[in-house]
A and B are shown apart, each in its own frame.
Chain A
Amino acid sequence: MEKQLHLSDKKISIRDLGDREYFYGHKACPGCGGSLALRLALKVLGERSYAVVPAGCMSAVGFIFPQMAFSCNAIISTFPGTASMLSGVAAGARALGIKDFHAVGFAGDGGTADIGLQALSGAIDRHDKIMYICYDNEAYMNTGVQKSSLTPIGARTTTSPAGKRLKGAVTHKKPMFEIVAAHGIDYAATASVGYPLDYLRKLEYASRVDGTSYIHVFAPCPVGWGHDTSDTISVAKNAVDCGLWFLAEFSDGKFTLNHKPGKFTSAENYLLGQSRFRHLGEEDVKDILAERDSRWSRILSEWSL
């Protein structure tokens, strides 16, 4: 039997997770942040889970007949259909009298903020009891690193090349956390695979929310970002420490910041440590920092701690 997790908030420990694996033996790349996000989430949610995974990295590496990597129920959805299929799964299970289950989706940044946004919006609007986890690796990685609306400004992808005229992506990340919050979602959070305890706590909380929950987990991709495969966790941690990502929650109509960096670590080191940003000049970095600082002044003045 799995150990039961308790919502002892910050006391949750990796030791609370059972040994049983629900996403294992897949063929994700070394150092894949997305597969780690899935693996940890299913360890929290356990065997009574229906995992819905759209076309993308995780479905490409986890469902190749006849070798299935999920030991809980799992299904690939259409690319735009993560949330709508989740709603159908949950409604079907409910109508059949099935109790104590989790309908949980794992979609990438493109599958969430671009092609899947409409269905996600619909599910949140209905307050369907589903969990939606966006593993954000900041580009369409499965198809070979193309820009999504969650690709950060300045990042080089295969469709936002860095050249003489343009320096990678020219737009900022779509604020998905605020977008789902603006729907009046029952629970939303941001997380990072570099802060696993925070992520686990949010997963456990989300699993008990009576309504729609959304967790946006920052998940580095060594292939697309150009960092060493052994640096995934430190990159994911650095993103938070340098202020380019944040750990927060939204519930009861209120934003809460979970982790306030005392002093930001060097964002230059974070950026220039990844080949996708290496073309950026001093001025470009300065612009990114200015945007970061204006976001943080808003966060600190409007969100509670």
Chain B
Amino acid sequence: MIPAQKAFLSGNEAVAAGVRLARPHVIAAYPITPQTTVIERLAEMVEDDSLKAEYLHVESEHSALSACIGASAVGARTFTATSSQGLLYMAECLHYASGGRFPVVMMNANRSLALPWNIYGDQRDSLSLLDCGWIQVYAEDAQESLDLIIHGYAIAEDPHVLTPFMINLDGFLITHTYELLNLPTQEDVDVFLPPFRTVNKMDLDHPMSLAFTAGPAYNQSFKQLQHQAMMSASKVIFETEERFGQLFGRHYPGLIETIHCDDAEFILVTLGSVAGTVRPVVEKLRSLGERVGLVRIRYMRPFPDTEISTALAGAKSVGVLEKDISFGYEGTVFTNVNSALMRAKVLPPRLLNFVGGLGGKDISATDIERLFLRLKSPDDGETVAFI
């Protein structure tokens, strides 16, 4: 393990620091709250020459991702960042990047979607785009955000994966909260993350046609390959975290993190910054003898179905807490968790979906204690509960 430098950075600044360490060739960006400080810091780094990248001031998020795809198509490493309405505005390009197997890395500051207008955090933006073929990971704090940028390039650019990578940070709660963190050195990151090499590019010596048309006879084959690549990302994620842990001394737990799940009867499943609120509550209730646990989902795609069903196998009652709702049914995370449990024939006696934090509505430690109480209380027939 090599000593790292300490830094006091916000989540967005940590992302920018991670991007600089990853040495992208092209950054294309368009501002949107609460993503802006990422692209401001990157612009400053390019200006002071501490980051040697082409910085494109594009006129929209659609162009930001379109430019990144173009740069990736000649073999360049690329970065962009967005949020909310901007993520939706680039939706066409999201599918384009994944279908063309361009390993763009992007940060998304999770933010509510209009209407009503709101700049605060929930996860409806990225979760509504779960099917766009991007690897989706949700950070819990600034350190993890920085490390995920570096993991992101290693995972996305792996020749078996070649799939774009979206790192989600809860708007304001992570993007604008300052933390003391370990800043890896450039030398170590260079060892961990070699330059991007790909055959999936336009090459002047070996011309290629990319992003082509494939009719009914071929199209599904490409989609199957894309699905296989995403599925194979799980293994690459584990290997990447293992390698990262050895070099940097920070160990990550894979697609999910489990806290006290082995003997837990009452488990909350959640993702993103709210896990940081659940943790101390779990510890407090444990100290009072309650058998409670936490599953923090890190990766929503590829989805950790086996990990989740294993973690929840002994639970009496499970609550899925998410900042999302698929109007007319339930939260999308809940749907995914249910599907994983059904596949594994793991059927906890009680499954509840807690929908909260929409538009930045605060979720306090007291709220979390109430959720555990609710999990322990008799079934009232309700499945989806707004908190």
- Asked if A pairs with B, the answer is yes
Contact A118–B59 (Cβ < 8 Å): yes
Residue among A48, A62, A93, A122 with max Cβ neighbours from chain B (10 Å): A93
- Which single member of B26, B62, B63, B64 contacts A91 (CB below 8 Å)? B26
Compute how far the CA of A192 lies from the CA of B192 in the bound complex, rounded to whole angstroms: 54
B176 contacts A by Cβ under 8 Å: no
Known: A76-B213, A93-B74, A118-B59. A81 touches B93 (CB 8 A): yes
- CB pair B71–A73 under 8 Å, yes or no, is no
Chain A residues near B74 (CB-CB < 8 A): 50, 89, 92-93, 96, 98
Please provide the chain B residues from 187 to 231 with a CB less than 8 Å away from any CB of chain A in the complex: 202-204, 207-215, 218
CB pair B212–A88 under 8 Å, yes or no, is no
The answer to whether the Cβ of A121 comes within 8 Å of any Cβ in the partner chain is yes
Q: Which residue of B lies closest to A80 (CB)?
A: B62
Of chain A, the residue at the smallest CB distance from B219 is: A65
Q: Is A125 an interface residue (CB 8 A)?
A: yes
Task: Tell me the residues in window 38-86 of chain B with beta carbons closer than 8 Å to chain A beta carbons.
Answer: 53-54, 56-60, 62-64, 66-76, 78
| A137 CB within 8 Å of chain B | no
Closest A residue, CB atoms, query B30: A122
Partner of A64, one of B56, B71, B215: B215
**Does residue B92 face the partner (Cβ distance < 8 Å to A)?**
yes
Does A72 touch B at the CB level, under 8 Å? yes
Query: Chain B, 279-316, contact with A by CB distance < 8 Å: what is the 0/1 string?
Result: 00000000000000000000000000000000000000
Smallest beta-carbon distance A35→chain B, Å? 16
Once bound together, how far apart are the Cα atoms of A76 and B99, in whole Å? 12
Interface: A74 (CB within 8 A): yes
Per the bound structure, the CA–CA distance linking A81 and B96 in Å amounts to 11
Contact of A73 among B76, B207, B212, B214 (CB under 8 A): B207
A-B contact count (CB 8 A): 160
Q: Pick the contact of A122: B25, B59, B70, B212 (CB < 8 A).
A: B59
A96: chain B residues within 8 A (beta carbon): 25, 74-76
Of the candidates B57, B63, B209, the one whose C-beta lies within 8 Å of that of A119 is B63
Size band of the B side of the interface? 35 or more
Are A92 and B78 closer than 8 Å at their CB atoms? yes
Does chain B have a CB within 8 A of A258? no
Chain B CB within 10 A, most for which of A48, A84, A119: A84
Q: Do A85 and B66 contact each other (CB < 8 Å), given the known contacts A92-B25, A96-B74?
A: yes
| Neighbouring B residues of A125 by C-beta, 8 Å | 59
Q: With A74-B209, A92-B78 given, is the CB distance from A119 to B202 under 8 Å?
A: no
Identify which of residues 55-103 in chain A touch chain B, using a CB-to-CB cut-off of 8 Å: 59-60, 62-66, 68, 70-78, 80-81, 83-96, 98, 101
Tell me whether B28 is interfacial, beta carbon within 8 Å.
yes
Q: Min CB distance, A125 to chain B, in Å?
A: 7
Chain B nearest Cβ from A189, distance in angstroms: 24
Q: With CB as the reference atom, state the residue of chain A lying closest to B59.
A: A122
Contact B70 A88 (CB under 8 A): yes
Report the minimum CB–CB distance from B62 to chain A (whole Å). Answer: 6
Task: Knowing A88-B56, A96-B76, say if A63 contacts B202 (CB, 8 Å).
Answer: no
Residue A208, interface by CB 8 Å: no
Q: Is A247 an interface residue (CB 8 A)?
A: no
B199 CB → nearest A CB, Å: 13
Query: Chain B residues with Cβ under 8 A from A73's Cβ?
Result: 202-204, 207-210
CA distance A76 to B208 in the complex (A): 12
How many whole Å from A54's CB to the nearest CB in chain B?
A: 10
Instruction: Note all chain A residues with C-beta closer than 8 A to B96.
Output: 78
- Which of A62, A74, A78 has the most chain B CB within a 10 Å cutoff? A78
Question: Smallest CB–CB gap between B54 and chain A, Å?
Answer: 4
Question: Known: A95-B76, A101-B204. Is A77-B25 also a contact (CB below 8 A)?
Answer: no
CA distance A151 to B202 in the complex (A): 34
Which A residues touch B56, using CB under 8 A?
87-88, 91, 126, 128
A64-B212 contact given A88-B26, A98-B74, A119-B59, CB 8 Å threshold: yes
Contacting pair B66 A92 (CB below 8 A): no
Q: How far is the CA of A111 from the CA of B212 in the complex (A)?
A: 17
Complex CA distance for A118 and B73, rounded to whole angstroms:
22
In the assembled complex, A52 has its CB within 8 A of some CB on chain B? yes
Q: Pick the residue among B62, B70, B92 that contacts A75 (CB under 8 A).
A: B70
Q: Are A121 and B59 in contact (CB under 8 A)?
A: yes
Cβ distance A38 to chain B, nearest Cβ, rounded Å: 13
Task: Give the complex CA separation of A301 and B56 in angstroms.
Answer: 39
Q: Which residues of A contact B204 (CB under 8 A)?
A: 47-48, 73, 98, 101
- State in angstroms the CA–CA spacing of A60 and B212 once bound together: 9
Find the A residue at minimum CB distance from B62: A80
A76 adjacent to B211 (CB under 8 Å):
yes
* Shortest CB distance B200–A (Å): 11
Check if A92 sits within 8 Å of B76, measured CB to CB: yes
Instruction: Determine whether the beta carbon of B209 is less than 8 Å from that of A87.
Output: no
| A71, B67: Cα distance in complex, Å | 23
Complexed CA–CA distance, A60 and B214 (Å): 10
* Distance in Å: Cβ of B222 to nearest Cβ of chain A: 8
B60–A122 contact, CB under 8 A? Answer: yes
Interfacial chain B residues near A101, Cβ < 8 Å: 204
Residues of A264-305 whose CB lies within 8 A of B: none
| Nearest opposing residue in chain A for B212, CB measure | A63
**B30 nearest CB across to chain A (Å):** 10
Complex A-B: 16 CB contacts under 8 Å: A47-B207, A74-B208, A88-B67, A88-B70, A88-B71, A91-B26, A92-B54, A92-B73, A95-B26, A95-B54, A96-B25, A98-B204, A118-B60, A119-B58, A122-B59, A126-B57
- Footprint of A on B, CB under 8 Å? 25-26, 28, 53-54, 56-60, 62-64, 66-76, 78, 92-93, 96, 202-204, 207-215, 218
A→B interface (CB under 8 Å): 47-48, 50, 52, 59-60, 62-66, 68, 70-78, 80-81, 83-96, 98, 101, 118-119, 121-122, 125-126, 128
The 3 closest A-B pairs by CB, nearest first: A88-B70, A92-B71, A92-B76
